[in-house]
Structure 1
Amino acid sequence: MGVRRSYKYLLRPTSKQATALAQCLEDHRQLYNAALEHRRTAYAQAGASIRYGEQSADLKHIRGDDPGGQGRWSFSSQQATLRRLDKAFRAFFDRVKAGRTPGFPRFKGRGWFDTVEWPKDGDGCRWDSQPGHSAATYVRLQGVGHVRVHQHRAVKGQVKTIAVRHLANPRHLAATAERLATALRDLSRKKRGSKRRRKAVARVAALHGRVRRQRLDHAHNAALALVRDYDLIVHEDLPITNMTRSASGTIEAPGRNVAAKAGLNRSILDAGWGVFLTILAHKAESAGRELIAVNPAGTSRTCARCGHCAKENRVTQAEFACTACGHAAHADVNAAVNILRAGLALRRASEAA
């Protein structure tokens, strides 16, 4: 019996491909919700239970009626989405039989459906789709094209299933910024000590509380995913307090680029790095995982291939190109390799001591 392994790689889509991937995700989400509505309506109106086989058979007509939408994606990937719904219903009925809280399958809102799966390599997708094209690895996805893959380690065996997951910084504060600004302007107009001002204060506090809860929820979910998948986790020991220090300076020596620095500070705080690292440390300890913090100095400027360190290596925020050996990579990936090596070196030194 063979061993099934799971590999995770970072995709490098072009802007056009990123747009196509986002639309692919949205169309699969709508297919999931439409199939769920079909099951609910059939049972409510006729007491009929709709199965996966019936909904899979309907796909041909759905694709034919919408060739520029659902029809452009892989038939097999759409079947995988329908199987995902069928699995949710089977789990629901199992909970009912066991006398547990049922938890009826829910419609998936934006942000709650983040994965599209292609169940068989060669059917709507192709791993290493352009092997003679260059040294890079590509995966071909129907309706998207040949997407570049950062393959940091080789695949052992034959690729069976491909899944693409969409991850993004949720930017909770930015999403609530307009409502918060309105609430703050309303607060500024209220007379101190008045009942209306107390209500306005409560509205502002409620919005800040919502952002905090969203940030905590995201941090808990991300940290839990890491400790479930990895025995060793290495991260930069970031001086967040120093990184978010104001650039305004003093009256005698005013700072430069104050507005830009203020915007950067908001982005850093909105990402919640400090909260996330604290939660990650607690979860790693509880799960018996090893967490190592390394000095971030030079990690973004050092070449992961030859070790040459120079600020000129960092071409842009996203691009890294070594001026010594010519090694090119995404800047974050290059830095991640350096961070991991530094963490492993610290572990070896600790074990030797």
Structure 2
Amino acid sequence: MRRSFRFLLRPTARQAAVLAACLEDHRTLYNAALEHRRTAYARAGVSVRYGEQSAELKHIRADDPEGQTRWSFSSQQATLRRLDKAFRAFFKRVREGRTPGFPRFKGRGRFDTVEWPKDGDGCRWNSQPEHPTATYVRLQGIGHIRVHQHRPVRGQVKTISVKREGSRWFVVLSCDDVPAEPLPATGVATGIDMGVAALHAKVRRQRLDGAHKAALALVRAYDVIVHEDLRIANMTRSASGTIEAPGRNVAAKSGLNRSILDAGWGVFLTILSYKAESAGRKLIAVNPAGTSRTCARCGHCAKENHVTQADFTCTACGHTAHADVNAAINILRAGLALRQAAQAA
């Protein structure tokens, strides 16, 4: 399996300054490559590809011996591939008839990551093994940076990335052949309803930490986990509409969009997916339609059952429950039914 491991860096003041310079030079390279593509097409109708820009790197480095030459050639190629990926995504959206979103220049606050595509090429993980009590990563032009390694790294390190978040720096290792760690069977299953405030946290790091802990608790406790098959991109699409056909309840929809994105559903489900795979658990996604309006006791479905965001009262049998708990029971039943049907097929 392919997995990522993220650790806090402990750079010295000098190293932090050099890391910032490295990030800035890669941002400059990205923007220059984008301008090259724009100008070539605007003036001559020529589409510039990654291969051509990569071939130009040696000339760029030669013209800037005190700047770009300090950094790994491979990391600069990775930055050019990042731009190429943005263009390929742009053309795909054009072909599919979606809003294209042409690649934009990166401001200082919108470029926060540099990647080294191969361990040993301009970078080295655990670069000073003679220090058994501390871990270091070596980056070309920066040196050996101390790493706060809070857990072991498994598999083979393939790529190394450095990311800035505010005043902190992190190293992200992408590893291949990470062994699965199946957990013992528990004999129970669960369903989960994605309440708007369930995973909300004040800052992104707290939200991510909460998502990891919640996902780990689920895979440790249950053999089968059933969740709603949410289309988050569709759910958070703008409701503003167009001049000819303006949207309705725009302010309310905008507020709900923010709540959904703040809750981090997509991040949580991604984390839950790979933790379930690693632990040998079964993860089932079901259509959430009607689960919040259907009584888990008698099966009666009506919008009047869902009284408020938190309360469920069946208008047929009088059953009352927390709305999320009632929906989770329905989600679990739907998932188990899907699993039974698949096993019988």
Could you state the TM-score of these two structures normalised by the residue count of structure 1? 0.51
Partner of 1:147: 145
Amino acid at match of 2:105: F
Q: 1:10 aligns with which of 8, 11, 16?
A: 8
**Aligned equivalent of 2:175:** none
Bigger shift: residues 7-16 or 152-161: 152-161
Counterpart in the other structure of 1:101:
99
* Structure 1 unaligned regions, length at least 5: 171-217, 235-277, 290-353
Residue in 2 that maps onto 1:166: 164
Q: C-alpha distance in 2, partners of 1:52/1:61?
A: 15
Q: Distance in 1 between matches of 2:203 and 2:212?
A: 14
Displacement after TM superposition at 1:158 (Å):
1.4
Deviation by residue 1:268-310 (Cα, 9 ceiling, x = unmatched): xxxxxxxxxx979971689878xxxxxxxxxxxxxxxxxxxxx
* Cα pair 2:211 2:268 within 8 Å, conserved: no
Greater shift, 131-140 or 12-21, is seen at: 131-140
SS in 2 for 1:27: helix
TM alignment of 1:200-239, pairs within 5 A: 231-232=214-215
What is the aligned-residue RMSD (CA, Å)?
3.1
Report the AA paired with residue 19 of structure 1: A
Distance 1:8 1:221 in 2: 15
Q: 1:283 aligns with which of 263, 283, 289?
A: 263
Secondary structure of 1:68 counterpart: coil
- Describe how 1:58-97 pairs up with structure 2 within 5 A: 58-97=56-95
Aligned to 1:120: 118
| Matched positions, count | 197
Runs (4+) of structure 1 exceeding 4 A deviation are 218-230, 278-282, 284-289
Q: 2:17 is matched with which residue? A: 19
> Matches of 1:228 and 1:285 in 2, distance apart?
9
Per the alignment, residue 332 of structure 1 pairs with none
Match runs of 1:284-323 below 5 Å: none
TM-aligned CA deviation for residue 67 of structure 1 = 1.4
Q: What corresponds to 1:28 in structure 2?
A: 26
Query: With CA pairs under 8 Å and 6+ residues apart, which has the higher RCO, 1 or 2?
Result: 2
Q: Spell out, residue by residue over 1:211-249, the C-alpha distance to the aligned partner (whole angstroms, 9 max, x if none).
A: xxxxxxx96766776677664599xxxxxxxxxxxxxxx
Higher strand share: 2
Q: Percent identity?
A: 67
Offset at residue 133 of structure 1 (A): 3.0
Please give the TM-score of this superposition, normalised by the length of structure 2: 0.52
User: Residue type matched to 2:55 in 1?
Assistant: A
For 2:147, give the aligned amino acid: V
Change (3 A) 1:132 1:168: same
Note closer, same or farther for the CA distance 1:116–1:229 as it changes in structure 2 (3 Å cut).
farther
Which of the residues 155, 158, 172 maps onto 1:157? 155
Q: Determine if contact 1:10/1:151 at 8 Å carries over to the other structure.
A: yes
Partner of 1:49: 47
Structure 1 SS opposite 2:157? coil
Determine the C-alpha separation between the residues in 2 that align with 1:286 and 1:64: 44
